[in-house]
Amino acid sequence: MSDKVSRRQLAKIAGLSAAAMAGALEAAEAKPAAPPRNGGGFPAGFVWGTATSSYQVEGAVNEDGRGASIWDKFVRIPGKIEDGTTGDRANEHYHRYKEDIALIKELGCRAYRFSVAWPRVFPDGDGKPNPKGLDFYNRLVDELLKNGIEPWLTLYHWDLPQSLEDRFGGWRSTETCKIFGDYAAYVAEHLTDRVKNVFTLNESGRFVYFGYGIGIDAPGLTLPQAEVNQIRHNSALAHGFAVQAVRAHGGRGTRVGPAENIDACAPAIDTPENVRAAEIALREMNAGYLNVIMTGGYTDAFLKYAGPNAPKFTDAELKIISSPVDFLGLNIYAPQNYVVASDQGAGFMPLPIPKSFPHMNSDWLRVGPETIYWVPKLAAKIWKTDAIYISENGASGDDMVRPDGRIYDTDRIMYLRNYLAQLQRATSEGVPVRGYFLWSLMDNFEWVYGLNKRFGLYHVNFDTQVRTPKLSASFYRNVIANNAAGV
């Protein structure tokens, strides 16, 4: 059908008035769909959630004694943020959290992943805590529980206290790792009477390289590879300190694990040789963080490849780094490497990605739904875990508000439908994925892209702060209600 056919014309063709058509759509969205036709669904008790992070949604950066984070400083460097915006206001979630929790409830989600802003709780990173900062998270957690939503807390989603960057060079120093452990202990002591699941650091794979290697994220440095590798090692050490702190100070039954943007490898073609190659690739491409925290050692291939740039470490550090975790949180968006078997090197060859490979509104967000099947399946095998959570998955779209005030994001629905179908394929084969957090509850501050890239199930008008459900919110509600991908 030509693009030139208007909604009014379409309504006419369908024999409906525009108002009746809107009504029909509304009714279709409100009803849960018929039971899944593929005869299956997700396992009973599967955790359905959404996710956000502190700097991306909270705003209120100067309120109630919050200290500055490296992002507060970074966003003020001219040219760093594509649209010149900051997280100063973002979604005003600090004040609107009750309204936002109502939105989560509306989806039928029983879990919500949020992060604690370290400088809200410790304005200088260490030293004197700020009770008003902690109070916000007390209120948030209580409101979630009141609404039947389980809080899943992330300790670090990139908003490092600026004071630690100034005094110690941030993650360049193991001092910051130890202080992170103290902060984790404090949060565990005060919140794990109600919060039962804690993620340590979000996406070491990104904030280390983007922040200290190529200067795209805060603090915006471009250090040599040897230093970047050392910083990655420090981030693993910080994770280990946090695991130990949560164990020592957490309430009974508190579980803890990473939330990592695993370098996602999948076989280009499903043959036993390529699957084996993808398994090796997944381990080696994640040797600098996930593999070392799950096994307690750097692989020979990693150390050989890093050569003189390899991180310096002690056995005692490796022990801390590999403190046993309760689950593996994986952020899975796009395929990073399609691999085939090779008789060279470690046994795999990553293939170049063609320019025409389909992607979503963000260029990096390639559409490879089978990634969310292969990666958890291979990860469970390599690291022998029986609890994997997809700590993030989702997509950006242009999300135009149509003249009828609605957002028909069929592109996001296409992406989610395909990824969830593949996730369901994994769970139906017994891959131990226990839950899924959709990124994101609502449009928010997307780091270097500012407010330009929208990932939400709810559209946010950043001038008026009005939240409007997109069609994908109805889609996700349906998935949750049926506990099935709805293929």
Which of residues 419 and 439 has its CB atom nearest to ligand NOJ in the complex?
A: 439
Q: How many CA atoms lie within 13 A of 411 on its CB side?
A: 18
Instruction: Name the minimum Å distance from CB 396 to ligand NOJ.
Output: 7
Which residue is it, tokens 């193991």?
174
Instruction: Name the minimum Å distance from CB 365 to ligand NOJ.
Output: 8
Spatial distance between the Cα atoms of 82 and 78, rounded to a whole number of angstroms: 10
**Angstrom distances, CA of residue 352 to CA of 6, 452, 463:** 41, 28, 42
Known binding-site residues equal: 56, 157, 202, 333, 439, 446-447
**265-267 sheet: strands from edge to edge:** 265-267, 337-341, 348-350
Peptide bond just before 342 cis, omega within 30 deg: no
Q: How many residues in the shown chain lie near ligand NOJ by CB under 6 A? A: 9
Convert residues 37-76 into a mask of x (bound to ligand NOJ by CB under 6 A) and - (unbound). Answer: ----------------x--x--------------------
Which residue is it, tokens 């997307």?
446
Q: Is 26 a catalytic residue?
A: no
Which of residues 267 and 368 has its CB atom nearest to ligand NOJ in the complex?
A: 368
Peptide bond just before 369 cis, omega within 30 deg: no
Candidates 192, 286, 331, 393; binder of ligand NOJ (CB under 6 A) is 331
Instruction: Name the minimum Å distance from CB 446 to ligand NOJ.
Output: 5
Cα 174 versus chain centre, distance: 25
Q: Does 399 bind ligand NOJ (CB under 6 A)?
A: no
Q: Does 154 bind ligand NOJ (CB under 6 A)?
A: no
Instruction: Name the minimum Å distance from CB 144 to ligand NOJ.
Output: 20
Residue by residue, DSSP assigns 258-297 as EEE----EEESS--HHHHHHHHHHHHHHTTTTHHHHHHSS
Which of residues 120 and 425 has its CB atom nearest to ligand NOJ in the complex?
A: 120
The closest of 214, 196, 197 to 205, measured between CA atoms, is 214
Which of residues 218 and 280 has its CB atom nearest to ligand NOJ in the complex?
A: 218
Spatial distance between the Cα atoms of 317 and 241, rounded to a whole number of angstroms: 10
Q: Does 199 bind ligand NOJ (CB under 6 A)?
A: no
Total number of residues shown for the chain: 487
Instruction: Name the minimum Å distance from CB 414 to ligand NOJ.
Output: 18
**Angstrom distances, CA of residue 256 to CA of 137, 171, 216, 301, 431:** 18, 21, 29, 29, 20
CB atoms within 10 A of CB 186: 17
Catalytic residue among 58, 150, 203, 370: 203
Q: Is 429 a catalytic residue?
A: no
Spatial distance between the Cα atoms of 23 and 29, rounded to a whole number of angstroms: 10
Which of residues 439 and 475 has its CB atom nearest to ligand NOJ in the complex?
A: 439
Candidates 42, 114, 439, 458; binder of ligand NOJ (CB under 6 A) is 439
- Specify which residues 460 forms β-bridges with: 467
207: left (phi over 0), alpha (psi -120 to 50) or beta: alpha
Which of residues 348 and 447 has its CB atom nearest to ligand NOJ in the complex?
A: 447
Q: Does 203 bind ligand NOJ (CB under 6 A)?
A: yes
Spatial distance between the Cα atoms of 215 and 93, rounded to a whole number of angstroms: 28
Known binding-site residues for substrate equal: 56, 157, 202, 333, 439, 446-447
Which of residues 71 and 455 has its CB atom nearest to ligand NOJ in the complex?
A: 455
Instruction: Name the minimum Å distance from CB 271 to ligand NOJ.
Output: 31
Residue by residue, DSSP assigns 224-240 as -HHHHHHHHHHHHHHHH
Q: Does 202 bind ligand NOJ (CB under 6 A)?
A: yes
Instruction: Name the minimum Å distance from CB 447 to ligand NOJ.
Output: 6
**Positions in 366-395 near ligand NOJ (CB under 6 A):** 392
**Angstrom distances, CA of residue 272 to CA of 345, 381, 448:** 19, 15, 40
Instruction: Name the minimum Å distance from CB 392 to ligand NOJ.
Output: 5
**Positions in 443-482 near ligand NOJ (CB under 6 A):** 446, 455
Which of residues 267 and 376 has its CB atom nearest to ligand NOJ in the complex?
A: 376
b/e sequence 325-340, b meaning 16+ C-beta within 10 Å: bbbbbbbbbbbbbbbb
- Residues annotated as catalytic are 203, 392
Contact residues toward ligand NOJ (CB under 6 A) are 53, 56, 202-203, 331, 392, 439, 446, 455
